[in-house]
A and B are shown apart, each in its own frame.
Chain A
Amino acid sequence: MADDKTPADSNPYTQTYVVQSGDSLSKIAQKYYGDASLYDKIFQANRDVLKDPNKIQVGQKLRIP
């Protein structure tokens, strides 16, 4: 049974990030891309586990394309 906190994609080279307390997609985008406005790239890459870009859960494993 698939873990709903884990993305289904299995590209071992796609970087992943485990959501920490206080994180938002823009903060993660800032960390990895240097540009918070690119948060949508992360959201689109994780549509299978994220329904709303403003709702991420601590412990969720996100792909960072």
Chain B
Amino acid sequence: MKKQFVWLVAALMAVLLVGCANDKAPAEQAIAGAEQALAATRDAAQKYAPDALQAVDSQLAQVKDMFAKGDYKSVMANIPALNTAIGSLKDTASAKMAEAQQAMAKAKDDWGSVSTDVPKMVAAIQSRVDVLSKSHSLPKGVTKDALASAKSGLDSMKSAWSDAMSAASGGDYSTAMSKAQAVKDQGSQIMQSLGMSSG
């Protein structure tokens, strides 16, 4: 009776071992598939959805840990969720990439008009600063401090505009537009301080 029991236990263990060995290959393949899918989207995800990528990497690490511990059943149970997360990451990265490309295209379009507009603004302010600098007394509403501030502001506008043009020539129209807008905002303030805004 005891001998029979030993044989039974041995047989069960053999069945379990074979079962585990049978689960290993599919688990290994499933992980390899997930890794391959993630690798295909990693670059875009790193740039456009880094937080989501980190979460998926962590999910993958957990599944690989299960595999390392020989828990192939858990691996197989968790693979569908991992694959869904990778698919979702791919969608998010693609959507954000399209959004960024659209924003860049718009910035490039906007740059076309801004690149001729801002120099005109700078020229108009420069002209007024030059004339006021020759004036014996300033017009009503314009103070000496305002003129001094306009002079230094004009230098700062020119420098920022030069940065904007460098960004544009490097293809970074978003940065170029952001700097150009700052130049325009500063220019509007200077124009107001010099009484150039009213007719």
Question: Residues of A with Cβ closer than 8 Å to B?
Answer: 11-18, 30-35, 37-38, 41, 64-65
Contact = CB atoms under 8 A, between A and B. Distances in A.
B103 interface: no
Given A13-B120, A13-B191, A15-B196, A31 B139 contact: yes
A17 B131 CA distance: 16
A34 B135 contact: yes
Interface of B: 117, 120-121, 123-125, 127-128, 131-132, 134-140, 142, 187, 191, 195-196, 199
Contacts, number: 53
Nearest to B117: A12
A17 to B, nearest CB: 6
A32 B131 CA distance: 10
B199 A33 contact: no
A14 B187 CA distance: 12
Nearest to B126: A65
Contacts of A17: 199
Contacts of B199: 15-18
A35 B142 CA distance: 12
A32 B120 contact: no
Contact of A35 (B124, B136, B187): B136
Contacts of B117: 12
B131 A38 contact: yes
30 contacts: A11-B124, A12-B117, A12-B120, A13-B120, A13-B121, A13-B123, A13-B124, A13-B125, A13-B187, A15-B128, A15-B199, A17-B199, A18-B199, A32-B195, A33-B131, A34-B132, A34-B135, A34-B136, A34-B138, A34-B139, A34-B140, A35-B135, A35-B136, A37-B136, A38-B134, A38-B135, A41-B131, A65-B124, A65-B127, A65-B128
